Amino acid sequence: MLRKKEAEELTFTQLALERKNERWNKHWLKRVVDTVQWDCFDPYLSRAYAKREGRPAWEPLVLFRCLLLEQWYGMSDRQLEEALEFRVDFCKFAGLDFEQNVPDATTFVVFRKRIEPVWDKLLELLNNQIEAGGFQIRKTITVDATLVEAYSKPCGTKASADPDASWRGFPAKEIKGEAGEKIVARRPALFGYKINLSTSTGHGFVNGFSVCEASEHETHHFAQFIHPTTQEVYADKGYAGNRFELVSLNIADGIQAKATRGNPLSDKEIERNKQITVKRRIVEAVFGSWKQWYGWRKTKYIGLCRNCLAVTLTALAWNMKKWAVLAK
């Protein structure tokens, strides 16, 4: 009788697992697993570990996938550790068995530190896959920049703040309107970083980025986004000084015209600027999504190198999810 009861319980467990597997096969994380060729990342991620020394380490690809889950679901390291203990979809995506232990929060911190030397290679590896899959993400691009507040701001002295961040702007200014109401004529200065981004105009894939202190001008990072296969570049009037770089490379100029004192824009230039806005606004949508869903209203760490890696992980997560959705 006891054996019969155990068999019934085992059957119930099997049915529950089958149901979860059916739901997993329809999950968008499963599409990401099937779409991305993960083996290409392993040679770079494995450099962080000496396999023949010390106790056995977690597989780098497992930890890499865990960090991507943090980006998609806006979790801290401790929240991710807890989620891996109980969520079936997280374990399946990461490649963990239900009965085994999961990486702890400290493991994620150490792993991020160890892969800092190779962060600049990871996005390029993924984008090569996406282009091989039939998407043109470097041919026609749009470039822009956004300010992001630092995780730690100065409080009395510079020593208490992020050492790699800087101020951008001037003190806030208010004026009185016609009805006597207060109007903000100038936004307050921001202490933080600037994220420079290049995206494809078609689907909004991120094909390049850089992070610098907020006071540095975005035009200094323009040239690094031009790929040998790039044929057309769109940007706002802030990049008007970079126009000669496109001409010298025989790349189609999609930079908006900028008026100067005594030289207003002509009707033709105004109309051209409107047409360019339609092409380049995709990059602003990417920035908006990052700040709304990926936590980039503020930087996530202190220091330029750590935040560069954080932007890399966000760009990877963004491109992977978009690719999986478009390729289905």
Rg (CA), the chain: 24
Structure-token match 């002295």, residue found: 157
Q: Which two tokens stand for residue 58?
A: 């977690």
Q: How many CB atoms lie within 10 A of CB 88?
A: 14
User: What per-residue string of b and e applies to 295-327 under the rule 16 or more CB within 10 Å gives b?
Assistant: bbeebbbeebebbbbbbbbbbbbbbbbbbbeee
For the stretch 125-171, pLDDT in tens is 999 999 999 999 999 999 999 999 999 888 765 556 899 999 888 76
Q: Which amino acid is at 290?
A: W
Structure-token match 């980025």, residue found: 209
Structure-token match 């700040």, residue found: 291
Mean pLDDT by 10 residues, the chain (328 residues): 47 63 88 96 84 71 97 96 93 89 94 91 96 95 96 70 87 71 72 96 96 95 95 96 94 95 94 96 96 95 95 98 91
Q: Which amino acid is at 62?
A: V
Helices assigned H by DSSP within the chain: 2-25, 28-35, 42-45, 60-73, 77-86, 88-94, 105-114, 119-132, 243-248, 267-293, 304-327
211's CB contacts (< 8 A; 6+ apart) are 193, 194, 195, 196, 304, 307, 308, 311
Structure-token match 């990059």, residue found: 283
What per-residue confidence (pLDDT) applies to 2?
Answer: 42
3-class SS letters over 96-130: CCCCCCCCCHHHHHHHHHHCHHHHHHHHHHHHHHH
Structure-token match 């004026």, residue found: 175
For the stretch 2-12, pLDDT in tens is 444 444 455 55
What per-residue confidence (pLDDT) applies to 7?
Answer: 46
